[in-house]
Amino acid sequence: MSDVPSGLETLVFSFSGGRPAGSFAPVLVGVVGSGNLEVMLEAAERPDCEIRVVTSARGFGAIWQAVMTDFHERQPLSGLRISINDMGATPAVVSLRLDQAVAGIAGGQP
């Protein structure tokens, strides 16, 4: 049995390579609300970047894949776990929140 409520879709992406994110306190940006999302970044003892998306907008896996691939190409980090809770955010908002979170672990520098 899943811990995700009925009606939500969970997507998991993993990207290898990149520079280690290093040790940092978890970073949370955004808010779960209509047309928005929250992003949490946590340091992880792993050689990749794992992204878990829980979204109310079902059936958009290919678009999420494209947005996550673009993010990893711009911010090639490893040793990172990203959790996204989405309530229908556009790809531009997703990219904005991801960049804000990375800026949070880099002392304000994306």
In a domain, 3, yes or no: no
Beta bridge partners of 42: 81
pLDDT per position as a tens digit, 67-101: 999 999 999 999 999 999 999 999 999 999 999 99
In a domain, 67, yes or no: yes
- Number of domain units in the chain: 1
pLDDT per position as a tens digit, 51-70: 999 999 899 999 999 999 99
Tokens at 25, concatenated: 């306190």
At 77, which CATH number?
A: 3.30.230
At residue 2, does pLDDT exceed 60?
A: no
Write down the pTM of the prediction.
Answer: 0.89
Contact 104, 29 (CB under 8 A): yes
Q: Which residue has the tokens 């996204």?
A: 84
Please provide the average confidence, as pLDDT, over all residues in the chain.
Answer: 91
